[in-house]
Each structure stands twice: as C-alpha cells, then as structure tokens.
Copies of this chain bind each other. A is one copy, B any other.
C-alpha cells in the first residue's frame, strides 16, 4: 500500500524531473552529471510528502508536481555537495560512485549548483507563490544546518537545532509547499508543519540508529562508526534504547499531527510506520 502510493508519486515525479533536466541539453556534461545523481534510486520521500500533502488538503498531485521536483533537486544537490572531499568525503552514494568520483570535483560542484538553480526555475513555473516561500526558506535552513554541523565540533547542545535545520527544514518545506499548492487553510498548514517537525526528528533518529547498528554489526563491536569518529548523534547521547524510545515518541507526535489535518491520512500513517521500522 505504501509502496504502491510511493511508486505512483515517484513515477510522476521522475517523469517531470526528466523534462526539467532537458533544460540543460546545451551543456551535456552538466546534464549527464545532474541526471546521474537525480536518477540514482532515491526513495523520493520529499516529493511524495509534497504530493501527499497537496492531496490531503484537497488538491491533485499534478498541482504540486513542480514543487515536488524542486524539492527532489534540492535534496539531490545537497547530497552531491555533502559527498565532496572537503565535506564528508564519501566515495559512494546509493551503491555507486558519488558524483565527484564519477565526474570529478569541478563537475560535481556544478551539478549541485545547477540542480539548486534549476529547482528555482521549476518553481518559477509553479503558479503558487507560497511554494517558493517555503521551499527557499527550507533550502536556506538546510545550508544553515550543514554549516552548524561542519563547525559545531560535536557540541551536544546544538544537535537538535542542527538536525532540525539539516533534515527537518526540507520536510517542512515539502508539506508546506504541497499545502500551498492546494490552497490549504492556515490550520491545515500548521498541522502539517507539526507533522514535519516530528517526522524530521523521527527520520534523523532512525538514521542514527541505522548507522549505529549497521556499523556495530559490521565491526562486531558494541559501538558504531559515529561514536568512534567522535560524531555526536542521538545514539551517542541517549544510547540505543533511549534513541529508540525517542523515535517512537516522535512517530506518535507525527501521527497525531497529520490526523488533525482531516481527510485521508493513510499514506502518512504508513510512511511513519515504515520510517520507524526501516532497514535502510
């Protein structure tokens, strides 16, 4: 059920993404490098949230499709830049060489810059101006979160703020843009923002748990890579059980918030359960 709905949102998004990327046909290597990362098997959770929020507030997925594509391009650009040697220095992403490994650093920087620019070009085609407001805010907050992460030196007191910016901001933008494209009421928007705040925390905490468990099982140790690298995560602060408890609590908050929007929130409820128990 989740996968059916997610697949249908994903197909819609991918078709439109393909059209938008063809804007770069005069710069073939830019086009190739952007497409390489955009079409690399992402789960398209942000566009799905945008399209689902639009439907929940009475619109059609088509109403929010440009906003959904903008969100996925912004998410993808952030992954490309995060993987750069000067940032996380990751050679692999989603099971294949990261963008800079495949195209070189200069082209990876430009692929990111291009996707961020193209995202706003897509939004210029979207007739709902509030979608631009929430998405540009989310894109900027994401960079703030990344900057805090790069410069925080593992300061525990910054973790929540930092993760709220890094992960939460784009989820807020996703549901906010979907709501804007449906002409949602203020109450609906506020409920969706509460959902996104809680879902963002759930997503980040389960990510930290996965990282910890994955690394611990590979290494056969009782601590994961993050802890060994001195990286502050929800698991390093609250322990594995504490983090799992937090995840459940945020799942509850997210569920309550989205139910208060009214309408058929089945997709959201299933996405929350899926995220709480996810294995990747």
Contact = CB atoms under 8 A, between A and B. Distances in A.
A112 B114 contact: no
A177 to B, nearest CB: 11
A186 interface: no
Interface residues of A, number: 47
Interface of A: 23-24, 26-27, 29-30, 77-78, 81, 84, 86-87, 104-107, 109-110, 112-114, 116-118, 120-121, 123-125, 129, 132-133, 136-137, 139-140, 142-148, 150-151, 161, 165
Contacts of A144: 24, 26-27, 30, 114
Contacts of A30: 143-144, 147
B107 A136 contact: no
- The secondary structure that dominates the A interface is helix
Contacts of A120: 120, 123, 132, 136, 139
Given A107-B147, A116-B116, A124-B136, 14 more contacts: A23-B140, A24-B144, A27-B148, A27-B165, A29-B150, A29-B151, A30-B144, A86-B104, A113-B146, A117-B136, A117-B143, A121-B136, A124-B132, A124-B133
Nearest to A131: B124
12 contacts: A26-B144, A29-B147, A112-B113, A113-B116, A114-B147, A118-B140, A120-B132, A121-B139, A123-B132, A124-B129, A124-B132, A132-B132
Instruction: State the copy count for this chain.
Output: 2
B117 A139 contact: yes
A242 to B, nearest CB: 26
